[in-house]
Every structure is written in structure tokens, then in C-alpha cells.
Amino acid sequence: MAHIQTPLVSNFMRYAFIILSTFLSCFSSIALAAPTTSAAHQQIIEQNKNIEFLTNQALTATGNQLSIIQLELFDSNSALRSSLSDAIGSKNPETSFLIEQIKIQIANDHKYLTYLESSITELQQKTQEASKEDRLLLQIPLNEHRQILAKIYQFQYQNYVWLKKLGENDTAEMTKFTHQVNLAAKFTAASLHYSLTRQSSLNEQLTKVPVAQKGPFELELSYLQRNIDTYSKMLATYIDIAEPLGLDTVNFKHQLFTATGAITHDFISWAMVTSTVSSVGSNIGKWLMSNSPNLIFNLFMFLLVLTIAHFIAKGANVLVTNTVKTGHLKLSNLMQQFLVSMSMKLIYSIGFLVALAQIGLDLTPILAGFGVAGIIIGFALQDTLSNFASGIMVLIYRPFDVGDWVSAAGVEGKVSHVSLVNTTIRTFNNEVLLIPNSKIWTDVIINRTYEKVRRVDMIFGISYKDSIPHAEEIFKAILDDDPRVLRSPEPIIQVDSLGDNSVNFVVRPWVKTDDLTDVRREVTREVKMRFDAEGISIPFPQRDVHIHQIDTSL
């Protein structure tokens, strides 16, 4: 396996400065021969002296010291180009001196380009001959060389712009450079297209191989992704150079958009939009031509499975409905509704998943996604799940059913609807209340209609002066005359207590649950009317007041 040493600074800088150290000494010696006529002029000469000094040090330095010197060389060269730019943009530029400096830059950049192209060819050869593991290591300097190449092209373009600004316009050299940029951009776009195509092919193959055999594919994909990133950056640089040179960049932009998906203001043009739409339309047309038979068949199978699932659900609905209503099961209405509803939903869900499988969709990630989503939703909806669990307990233990008169969670009324999350209770003044099942299940539940027969508990008082047997006869006659009062169990009519103001009777007839309220009200009314008719008084709280006169003469 090839061994590659990583310096303290970026590898990008390392390779750039190895190139710079070879040529900058020549550049510096020529620059120092120019006369000094201004501060800017003097600054450029001083910067060249510094570059020459660092270059000489780089020739003998090693290890971390070399990395540090290379970093200083990069900064010094950047400062030099910045000084040249400022000098060219000044009001009275020293034209002859600056033209000489820029031509030296052009000559050196040309040497850099030649050197880089040779180095890239050599590194590509080594990379192709290396094993897949070593290719990833060799790819690092190779891609850095490629990015440096694009950067030097950008420097060279800036050099020609400077010359033109200073009145030195070499049309032949500019034409030659434009041709070089066009070839470099085309080659980079073609390389990017190949890498994207290869990546798509490998991704498709990766889905069909066993897990144990995916290692080589993943290494190759990692290699391709690095190339795609590098070619994308290079192509973006070439586009920035090519557009001012008047080159057609529509295809380059389209290729870059395909790779990155990024849209900038530079991309928004009618030609770019037309090219993209045309390409997308062409790809869709090709896909439809090659896949339309399978697509139509898969769509037919998708609809067929959903139709079959619909009829099965309808049949299951009828079957489950008839089954849960059989007498020996003794299921509540709530449980019956739940089983019928869940059976249909379950069949529809299974049918939909099977239908998705018919159109070629892999259900494994979907089911895994449902599992992960279930965990997340479980944490997010703890209170709702508590209500759901309470709803399940209500279904199992059946403390009440739809239509029952209940008192729960501080509310009294008739149950009109029960779901797994909440219970709907309609009060006797026709208010509709939705109560979470967790509050109902954790509170005392009173079901007033659970039993079919209920006892009506009533208390009546008579005066101490009235006849007890006479009152008992009246109570018995009233109950005997009411057909809603059951004969068995027999009604209870007894003296219960001797109160402060009355003799109290308990009157407790047994009635059907539905008649309880009406019987209580009508018997109470009848007792009052019969007592009044037969002279029996119903006492009310009273107090005797005795007044004693005090003799004030004493």
C-alpha cells in the first residue's frame, strides 16, 4: 500500500508551493532589476525579495518547517498579486513596469500549467494501476492537482485581463488561451458526466448484491464521489473564466447542475432553462419508452390488489358483524364497533402494502420507517397513548356501553360514543362533553343503567299526631296502583326514624331502570295529594318559643 505523508498545512498548499519554489526565484531576480519610482513599485520589489528568500529556504527545508515555509510562500504570492492589482487600478500606473511583471506571471503560470498537466497524467496512471484501497489514498494528491490546475487557469485569465487594461492586448495569445480553457472545460464536463453515470450504475448494482459483497462497491462509490466533488469545483471555476471569454457555457452549467443541484443567479438564463427542460423531457421520454409496458402492468396490478382488498374488507365486515352479534359472545356494542372497524382497517392496510409491492416498491425501509416513527410518536404523544391504553381497558372490562347513564370524571349523562382516545357523554341538558379515557378510567365510574332493575329510595315524614298504620296504607295503595312498580321483589314500606319534627318512612319500590326517575317523581306527587286529601300533615321544621316576663320593679 502506498504511504502518503500528511503535512501540518493543507495538501493543496503543499503541491502548489512545490511548484512555486521551482519558478519564483527566476521571477524575483528579474523583478528586482526594475527601477524604483514609487511606493507601490517599491512594495512589489520588497515582496519579490521575500518570495526569493522563502524560495531558497524551501529548497533545503523538510518536514513541518517546509510546510510552514510553503504556507508563507502562498501568502506572499497572494499579497504580490494583490499589490499588482492595486497598482494596475491606481490613477497613474507605471505601465511598463507592471506589464513586465504581468508577463513574468504569464510565463510562470504557463510553466505551472505544463507541470501540473504532466503530474496529473502521472498520478492518474499510478491511480489506475493501484488497488482499490490504495486508489483512495492516491486520489487525494490527484484531486488537489486538478483543483490547482483550475486555479492557475483562473490566475492566467486575470493576467490577460490586467494586460488588456494596461493597453497590452495580444489577440493571438488570448485566442490560444480561450481555446485551452474551452478544451479544459469540455474535458472536465465529460469526466463529471462519466463519474455521475458510473455512480448511478453502481448504486443500482448495489441494491442487488448481498450485504457481504457490498464492500468493493462502497469503496468505488467513495472514489467516484470524491471525483464528482472535485470535477464540480473545477467546472464552476472554468465557467467563471469561459463566460467573459465569450464561450458557450450552457452545456457546462447543465452538467454542473446535474451534479450539484445548486442553482445560482449565474444559472438563470433562457438557454439554460431550455437546455434543462429539453434534457429532462428527453430522459422522461426514454424512460417511458423503455418502462411503459411494465409501468402499465404494475399500475394494473396495483389497482387490482386494491379492488380485491376492498371486496375482502366488505366481506370481512359482514362476517365480523354477524359474528360479534351472536348471543353467546356477549360483547358490548362498543367492542362490536371496535372489532368491525379494526377488521376493515387492517385488511385495507395490508392490501395497500401488497399493492405498493406490486409496483416495485421495497417495503423493508417503509416498515422500518414505521417502526422508527412509532418510537418517535410514542415519546411525543405520551398523553394520547395513555388515553389509548385506557380505551383498551374500557373495551376489555366494559364498565359501560353506548347508551348507558353514567357518572364519571365529575360528569353525569348518557354515553353517546366511545373511541380509543375519548368518550362522548351527552348530559341531560343536551350538552356534549368529550372526556379523555385516561380521566375516566382513573376515576370512579358509576353506571346507573348497568342493571335492568333498580330500587327507588324515597323518604316521607308525617306528624307525630298522625296515624302510622293509616300512612302505611296510603303508601301501599299508591304503589299497588302504579303498574310500573314490580311485585317481585316486594316494595319496602317501613318506619325508618323518629326525627326532630316528623316520623320518617322509607318507601322503596323496585322498578325497571328506565322507569326509575318517572316513578320517583310521580309517587312523590301522589303521596302529597293523598296526604292532603286524607288529612295527614307533612311537618316542616318548627321551634317552640317560650316568653318569660321579667318584673322590672324589683
437 shares its domain with 467: no
Domain finish residue from 433, 449, 465: 449
What is the model's pLDDT at position 26?
46
Same domain, 383 and 470: no
* CB-neighbour burial class of residue 462 (10 A; exposed 0-12, middle 13-18, buried 19+): buried
In a domain, 491, yes or no: yes
Residue 282 pLDDT level (bands cut at 50, 70, 90): low
Beta bridge partners of 426: 414, 432
Higher pLDDT, 525 or 439: 525
Instruction: Kindly state whether residues 143 and 171 are assigned to the same domain.
Output: yes
Residue ending a domain, choose from 449, 466, 492: 449
pLDDT tops 90 at residue 470: yes
Could you tell me if residue 16 is inside a domain? no
* pLDDT > 50? residue 33: no
Task: Tell whether the model's pLDDT for residue 201 goes beyond 90.
Answer: no
Rounded to the nearest integer, the mean pLDDT of the chain is: 79
C-alpha cell at 412: 353525569
Whole-number pLDDT of residue 521: 94
Q: Facing residues of 446 across strands? A: 407
How many angstroms separate the CA atoms of 55 and 49, rounded? 10
pLDDT confidence bin for 4, thresholds 50/70/90: very low
In this structure, the strands spanning 432-436 and 453-455 are: unpaired
Of 42-56, 240-254, 288-302, 527-541, minimum mean pLDDT range: 288-302
pLDDT on residue 10 = 45
Residue 135 lies in a domain: yes
- The answer, yes or no, to whether residue 21 has pLDDT greater than 80, is no
At residue 50, the pLDDT reads 81
- Does 286 map to a domain? yes
In the listed set 234, 264, 294, which residue is the last one of a domain according to the structure? 264
Who's near 354: CB < 8 A, 6+ residues apart? Answer: 305, 309
Q: In degrees, to the nearest 5, what angle opens at C-alpha 308 toward C-alphas 306 and 310?
A: 70
- Look at residues 418, 409, 477 and name the one whose alpha carbon lies nearest to residue 441: 409
Q: Does 458 score more than 50 pLDDT? A: yes
Whether 238 contacts 252, CB under 8 Å? yes
Contact (CB, 8 A) for 21 and 59: yes
The pLDDT > 90 percentage for the chain reads 14
Which cell goes with 543?
321551634
Of residues 63 and 134, which shows the higher confidence score?
Answer: 134
Same domain, 197 and 258: yes
Phi-psi region of 413 (alpha: psi -120 to 50; beta: other; left: phi over 0): left
pLDDT band at 36 (very low <50, low <70, confident <90, very high): very low
d(CA 45, CA 14): 25
Banded pLDDT at 494 (limits 50, 70, 90): very high
- Tell me the three state secondary structure of residue 362: coil
CA 165 vs. chain centroid, Å, equals 53
Q: Give me the number of domains the chain comprises.
A: 4
**Is the same domain home to 85 and 149?**
yes
DSSP letter (8 states) at residue 171: H
Percent of residues, the chain, with pLDDT higher than 70: 79
Per-residue pLDDT at 553: 64
Q: How confident is the model at residue 381 (pLDDT cuts 50, 70, 90)?
A: low
**Cα angle, residue 199 at apex, residues 195 and 202 outer, rounded to 5°:** 140
Q: Is residue 553 part of a domain?
A: no
Given a contact cutoff of 8 angstroms between Cβ atoms, the answer to whether 71 and 57 are in contact is no
pLDDT at 186 over 80: yes
Question: Domain of 300?
Answer: 274-361
Is residue 10 in a domain? no
Cα–Cα distance list, 189 to 121, 138, 146, 253, 326 (Å) = 18, 22, 13, 9, 74
Whole-model pTM: value is 0.46
pLDDT at 29 over 60: no
Asked if 442 and 467 sit in the same domain, the reply is no
Most confident of 177-181, 401-405, 417-421: 177-181
Q: Are the beta carbons of 435 and 443 closer than 8 angstroms?
A: no
In the beta sheet, which residues pair with residue 447? 406
Out of 66-75, 226-235, 468-477, the most confident range is 468-477
pLDDT single digits (tens) 286-339: 655 665 666 677 788 888 888 888 888 888 888 888 887 776 666 666 667 767
The one-character DSSP state at 488 is: S
For residue 300, give the C-alpha cell: 394494473
- Classify residue 314: in a domain, yes or no: yes
Residue 444 has pLDDT above 80, yes or no: yes
Q: Model confidence at 363, in pLDDT bands (50, 70, 90)?
A: low
- pLDDT by residue (tens digit) across 416-442? 888 778 888 998 888 888 888 888 888
In this structure, are 169 and 65 located in the same domain? yes
Burial class (CB in 10 A: 0-12, 13-18, 19+), 541: exposed
Mean pLDDT of 473-480: 94
What pLDDT score does 529 carry? 94
Query: Could you tell me which residue, 493 or 382, shows the higher pLDDT?
Result: 493
Q: What mean pLDDT comes out for the span 92-116? A: 82
Q: What is the CATH number of the domain that holds 461?
A: 3.30.70.100
> Per the structure block, which three cell numbers stand in for 452?
335492568
Paired strand residues for 510:
455
Residues 107 and 237 in one domain: yes
Whether the link from the prior residue into 489 is cis, omega within 30° of 0, is: yes
pLDDT at 22: 46
Let me know whether 353 and 433 are in one domain: no
Q: 125 with 175, same domain?
A: yes
Tell me what pLDDT residue 316 has: 83
Q: What is the pLDDT of residues 255-280, one digit of tens each?
A: 777 777 655 545 445 444 555 555 55
8 Å CB contact between 483 and 443:
no
Instruction: Give pLDDT, residue 12.
Output: 45
| Strand boundaries in 318-457, DSSP class E | 405-408, 411-418, 422-426, 432-436, 446-447, 453-455
- Residue 261 gets the label, from left (phi > 0), alpha (psi -120 to 50) or beta, of left
Same domain for 347 and 216: no
Q: Are residues 85 and 231 in the same domain?
A: yes
Compute φ and ψ for 20, nearest 5 degrees.
-60, -40
Label residue 5 by pLDDT band (50, 70, 90): very low
